Amino acid sequence: YLSFGDEIDEMITPGIQGTSIMIKDTYYWVFVKDISINQKRLNIPLGSCKRLSAIEGTALVVDSGTPLTRLPKPMFDAVKRSLLELFSHDPNLVKLSDDNFDLCYERRRPESNRYAGLPNMTIHFENGATFEIGPSALFGVDKDDAKQKFCFYVIPTDEDGDGILGAYQQINQRIIFDPKRSR
């Protein structure tokens, strides 16, 4: 079901987390503090990312109309380095080049679970809230390919582009916006 505004009952969602939002130019922005890959914090220097202003900090637009998440380039580069390091220890993986995605691999020996061994990513927001994205919402795995080609379905922004939390990474997540309380 779909609920809006006062119809939303926080009590029906145990463990609900909250973070502040800012509404600017009709978009909802959430403030990012860090990112983890497989529960390992990356300690991204967010000062190098585009900021809404000196006070407001580094933020992502939550946009269900944008297919894939777009991370500010310094943030994306830190995530990419972490994934390259993680995948470099798996002799079953061969790095591929792809015109559309920065990180694509092929498995030498396919897994029965297409997402086996692929990491999760957690976005850490202001006020301690976290947004965990599982492997099935982070990677596209070619079902028909016998060697299971997969690509990281997060892309970098242009140098001055806004970061966006896209629709593919919002799959199977429950996100509630309360503009009255800016959260």
Q: Is residue 51 part of a domain?
A: yes
Whether 33 is in a domain gets the answer: yes
Is the pLDDT at 121 greater than 50, yes or no?
Answer: yes
**Mean pLDDT along residues 19-36:** 85
Distance (Å, whole) CA 85 – CA 148: 20
* CATH code of 164's domain: 2.40.70.10
More confident residue, 177 or 10: 177
Q: Which residue range(s) make up the domain with 52?
A: 5-81+121-140+154-181
Burial class for 134, CB neighbours closer than 10 Å (0-12, 13-18, 19+): middle
Is residue 107 situated within a structural domain?
no
Confidence (pTM): 0.85
Domain count of the chain? Answer: 1
Which single residue is written with the structure tokens 């119809």? 7
